Structure 1
């Protein structure tokens, strides 16, 4: 299975989620969602940067899975996640994200950026406050 996204915790408390450009399948999308939940295993404050520079458009079924995941993990996110930053240059991917948030509101502060550096600065400011 080729991953839909790769999760890098080496710079914790900032976690980097990089979308690979692979088409979403039931298997790789579920692995991505499971990986996201695993980021909370330490029960420590964190911030997440989603780099969607290479993201492929997930199917509607997978968008719904993402929305359901947000709902199921809302309390966990509120307790530990200080913010999520999205690096998205593709207008279609931005529209998909807005669609997911229309199905289920994002439970923590978030911003969308065109550049990774700007997203990192915003997350660092969230962690400092």
Structure 2
């Protein structure tokens, strides 16, 4: 059985929640994650995305670079439709991974990083207003 890298919930669109499962990244599940992330933008409507990295595991540098490339390749979509992204990251190592990804490619939309779910959700809701 395939182990997902992340799940994406769109039931409360335009509020989208991406939850990292704790499974290690591999070529297949990471590609699926990036493909599913792009599908969020197929509605061509304003969206706010919460990334819950509470269970995230350290992705190797090749996956960090793939994420950075995805940001670059989809920069226009994000600028046009994403109100902002909030990250729940209680783990300092994973926070540093995010910083590394943003060094490879700047985050093209406003973002907020917190270890608290309520703070991240509040910030996202403000972005949607």
- The TM-score range, normalised by the shorter chain, is over 0.9
CA distance in 2: counterparts of 1:81 and 1:113, whole angstroms: 19
Q: Deviations over 1:30-50 (max 9, x none)?
A: 000001000001000000000
> In 2, distance between residues paired with 1:90 and 1:114?
8
CA distance in 1, matches of 2:7, 2:119: 21
Give the deviation of 1:26 after TM superposition: 0.4
CA distance in 2, matches of 1:114, 1:68: 26
Q: CA RMSD in A?
A: 0.5
Partner Cα separation in structure 2 for residue 117 and residue 13 of structure 1: 18
Distance in 1 (CA, whole Å) between partners of 2:116 and 2:10 is 20
Structure-2-length-normalised TM-score: 0.98
Give me the whole-angstrom Cα distance separating, in 2, the residues matched to 1:13 and 1:75.
18
SS across alignment from 2:12:
coil
Q: CA deviation at 1:59?
A: 0.8
Q: Distance in 1 between matches of 2:88 and 2:64?
A: 18
1:86 is the counterpart of 2:90: no
Please list, as runs of the form range in 1=range in 2, the aligned pairs for 1:27-38 lying within 5 A after superposition: 27-38=28-39
Aligned residues: 128
Equivalent position of 2:20 in the other structure: 19
Corresponding residue for 2:47?
46
1:65 is aligned to: 66
Structure 1 position 3, deviation (Å): 0.3
2:3 aligned partner? 2
